[in-house]
Chains A and B, each alone.
Chain A
């Protein structure tokens, strides 16, 4: 069992063949920065907005996620249709996801946590950035949850 990577494929694979320098990686930090600003300014990081979404008292979050999916889907369609390449001239690679029961069990468990904390992993980082210091505890707990999943993975139904 030298390298047990089979079955442990990363869910956000980095398909770039080029090894990127620190400087090159900074561009992702800049994209992330704009993303974080949007998260806060559109109040997606707000615990109240998540409560409204699940209490069905506001359209806001449905509008955000729905619009994002439509824009993302059109973009992916165009990239595939016109075979648009990356800025370094590589073919954009997509990889189909495999269904397993984890998407159901894990999805429900994440949904519980989402409603409680009012945050998915992205907003956790943005909330800490806004100065909500106690959210560091939420983040550490989320890291612990990820670790425990990794530890129990073989015993869980998939």
Chain B
């Protein structure tokens, strides 16, 4: 059983379990699945600074902060008790492309030569970690949701605005991967 859990899970299993999060949250307490809203709740709780966008009762949304606390714990459990002993399998073409772009470590879930405090001091590491994070936070709020709120919850509820947002997420990702990253990763 444990060895079954330790190997990487098939996309269909993951897809079913993530999809089931939608009715689970709705039926547990009328909660709408959406993770990026937590970044707003953190702003509202810590630094509202009289900005109208952060003037609301964030404590009413505290369930969502519990949810992401759980996600953090889940990450810990998976990495320490259910870890895959094998290196991650990466598509050969992607591996070749990334090697040309100066990525050399392919063992963990994220490349150590890009996501480390040493890398944070380099131009490319700073852009990826700091600017990348900023764009994630700014973009999700501007779009009114992220992959969970729009792509999964919104599409499950057949919302056209969520379809538009999801298409734009993908276009943005393709543009960055094909035209931005080859430049940034070689800095």
Residues of A within 8 A of B (CB): 1, 3-5, 8, 10-16, 18, 20, 24-48, 50-55, 57-61, 63-73, 75-76, 78-79, 84-88, 90, 92-100, 102-122, 124-135, 137-151, 153, 156
Contact = CB atoms under 8 A, between A and B. Distances in A.
Given A109-B142, A122-B146, A53 B173 contact: yes
B166 A107 contact: yes
A31 B94 contact: no
A86 B38 CA distance: 23
Contact of A109 (B19, B53, B135): B135
Contacts of A28: 25, 28-29, 31, 63-64, 66-67, 70
Contacts of A131: 76, 79
A121 B11 contact: no
B98 A147 contact: no
Contacts of B142: 102, 105-106, 109-110, 149, 156
Contact of B13 (A33, A42, A86, A100): A42
Nearest to A47: B110
B171 interface: yes
A111 B175 contact: yes
A85 to B, nearest CB: 8
Contacts of A31: 21, 24-25, 28, 67, 70
Contacts of A69: 19, 151-152, 155-156
A104 B160 CA distance: 12
B132 interface: yes
Given A26-B66, A52-B91, A146-B137, A73 B168 contact: no
Contacts of B145: 11-12
B187 interface: no
A121 B73 CA distance: 15
